[in-house]
Structure 1
Amino acid sequence: MRRTTVKRARVSALLVAGGLVAAVFVPAATASPTSGSDSASGSGPAQTQPASDALLTAMQQDMGLTKGEAKARLAAEKKATAVQDDARRAAGKAYGGSWFDAKSGTLAVALTDKAKADAVRAAGADVRMVRHSAEELTAAKKRIDKLSAPAGVSSWQVDDKSNRIVVSVVASKKSDNDVRAFVADARESGPVTVRETAEAARTTAAGTVGGDPYYTGNVRCSIGFSVHGGFVTAGHCGQKGASVSGWDRSKIGEFQGSTFPGSDMAWVNVANGWWTEPVVLGWGTVSDQLVRGSNEAPIGASICRSGSTTHWHCGNVQAKNVTVNYQQGAVHGMTQTSVCAEGGDSGGSYISGDQAQGITSGGSGNCSSGGTTFFQPLNPVLSHYGLTLHTA
Structure 2
Amino acid sequence: MRRRRLTHVALAALLALGGLSAAGTIPAAATGSTAGSAGTAPSAYRPASYGVVTAMQRDLGLTRQQAEARIADERAAAALAPKVRRTAGKAYAGSWFDSEKGRLTVALTPDAPADTRSAIRAAGAEVRTAAHSARRLDAVKARVDRLSAPTGVSGWHVDPVANTVVVDVVRKDRSDNDVRRFVSRAREAGPVTVRTVSAAPRTFAAGTVGGDPYYTGNVRCSIGFSVHGGFVTAGHCGRPGAGVSGWDGSYIGTFQGSSFPDNDYAWVSVGSGWWTVPVVLGWGTVPDQLVRGSAVAPVGSSVCRSGSTSHWHCGTVLATNETVNYSQGAVHQLTKTSACAEPGDSGGSFITGDQAQGVTSGGWGNCTSGGETWFQPVNEILGRYGLTLHTYTG
Would the TM-score normalized by the shorter structure come out above 0.5?
yes
Would you say the 8 A contact 1:27–1:280 is kept in 2?
no
What is residue 48 of structure 2 aligned with on the other side?
A: 51
Unaligned segments of structure 1, at least 5 residues: 1-5, 15-25, 34-45
| Secondary structure in structure 1 of the residue aligned to 2:195 | strand
1:142 and 2:142 are equivalent in the alignment? yes
- Kindly state the Cα deviation for residue 252 of structure 1 after the two structures are TM-superposed: 0.7
Deviations 1:271-312 (A, max 9, x none): 111111111001233210011110111110000000000000
What is residue 72 of structure 1 aligned with on the other side?
A: 69
What is residue 344 of structure 2 aligned with on the other side?
A: 344
- Kindly state the Cα deviation for residue 79 of structure 1 after the two structures are TM-superposed: 1.1
What is residue 100 of structure 2 aligned with on the other side?
A: 103
Deviations 1:5-31 (A, max 9, x none): x999824699xxxxxxxxxxx864224
Between the aligned partners of 1:305 and 1:32, the Cα distance in structure 2 is: 18
- Kindly state the Cα deviation for residue 32 of structure 1 after the two structures are TM-superposed: 8.6
What is residue 371 of structure 2 aligned with on the other side?
A: 371
What is residue 36 of structure 2 aligned with on the other side?
A: none
What is residue 234 of structure 1 aligned with on the other side?
A: 234
1:29 and 2:56 are equivalent in the alignment? no
What is residue 303 of structure 2 aligned with on the other side?
A: 303
Query: Which aligned runs of 4 or more in structure 1 are off by greater than 4 angstroms?
Result: 6-9
Deviations 1:216-263 (A, max 9, x none): 000000000000000000000000001111111111111000000010
What is residue 224 of structure 2 aligned with on the other side?
A: 224
Would you say the 8 A contact 2:30–2:287 is kept in 1?
no
Would you say the 8 A contact 1:91–1:119 is kept in 2?
no
| Secondary structure in structure 2 of the residue aligned to 1:181 | helix
Query: In 2 relative to 1, CA 228–13 (structure 1 residues): closer, same or farther, beyond 3 Å?
Result: closer
What is residue 391 of structure 2 aligned with on the other side?
A: 391
What is residue 159 of structure 1 aligned with on the other side?
A: 159
Amino acid at match of 2:68: K
Would you say the 8 A contact 1:307–1:348 is kept in 2?
yes
What is residue 82 of structure 2 aligned with on the other side?
A: 85
More off after superposition, 317-326 vs 118-127: 118-127
Between the aligned partners of 1:79 and 1:367, the Cα distance in structure 2 is: 30
| Secondary structure in structure 1 of the residue aligned to 2:345 | coil
- Kindly state the Cα deviation for residue 125 of structure 1 after the two structures are TM-superposed: 1.1
Unaligned segments of structure 2, at least 5 residues: 1-5, 15-24, 33-42
Deviations 1:93-121 (A, max 9, x none): 11011000011111001100341311221
Query: In 2 relative to 1, CA 138–158 (structure 1 residues): closer, same or farther, beyond 3 Å?
Result: same
What is residue 62 of structure 1 aligned with on the other side?
A: 59
1:173 and 2:173 are equivalent in the alignment? yes
Would you say the 8 A contact 2:12–2:277 is kept in 1?
no
Amino acid at match of 2:295: N
Between the aligned partners of 1:266 and 1:332, the Cα distance in structure 2 is: 15
1:201 and 2:201 are equivalent in the alignment? yes
Identity of aligned residues (%): 65
Would you say the 8 A contact 1:9–1:31 is kept in 2?
no
Between the aligned partners of 1:277 and 1:71, the Cα distance in structure 2 is: 24
Between the aligned partners of 1:335 and 1:272, the Cα distance in structure 2 is: 34
Amino acid at match of 2:108: L
More off after superposition, 96-105 vs 50-59: 50-59
Deviations 1:344-380 (A, max 9, x none): 0000000000000000000001000101000000001
- Kindly state the Cα deviation for residue 124 of structure 1 after the two structures are TM-superposed: 2.0
Query: In 2 relative to 1, CA 126–288 (structure 1 residues): closer, same or farther, beyond 3 Å?
Result: same
Structure 1 segment 177-196 matched on structure 2, within 5 A: 177-196=177-196
- Kindly state the Cα deviation for residue 207 of structure 1 after the two structures are TM-superposed: 0.6
Structure 1 segment 191-340 matched on structure 2, within 5 A: 191-340=191-340
Between the aligned partners of 1:310 and 1:180, the Cα distance in structure 2 is: 36
Between the aligned partners of 1:346 and 1:100, the Cα distance in structure 2 is: 26
Between the aligned partners of 2:257 and 2:382, the Cα distance in structure 1 is: 12
Between the aligned partners of 2:284 and 2:13, the Cα distance in structure 1 is: 12
Between the aligned partners of 1:232 and 1:341, the Cα distance in structure 2 is: 18
Between the aligned partners of 2:92 and 2:275, the Cα distance in structure 1 is: 43
| Secondary structure in structure 2 of the residue aligned to 1:142 | helix
Between the aligned partners of 2:232 and 2:284, the Cα distance in structure 1 is: 23
Amino acid at match of 1:53: Y
Would you say the 8 A contact 2:31–2:288 is kept in 1?
no
What is residue 123 of structure 2 aligned with on the other side?
A: 123
CA-based RMSD of the aligned residues comes to 2.1
Higher RCO, 1 or 2 (CA under 8 Å, sep at least 6)?
A: 1
TM-score (norm 2): 0.89
Amino acid at match of 1:100: F
Matched length = 365
Between the aligned partners of 2:336 and 2:27, the Cα distance in structure 1 is: 26
- Kindly state the Cα deviation for residue 51 of structure 1 after the two structures are TM-superposed: 2.1
What is residue 35 of structure 2 aligned with on the other side?
A: none
Query: In 2 relative to 1, CA 125–8 (structure 1 residues): closer, same or farther, beyond 3 Å?
Result: same
- Kindly state the Cα deviation for residue 53 of structure 1 after the two structures are TM-superposed: 3.4
Would you say the 8 A contact 2:242–2:254 is kept in 1?
yes
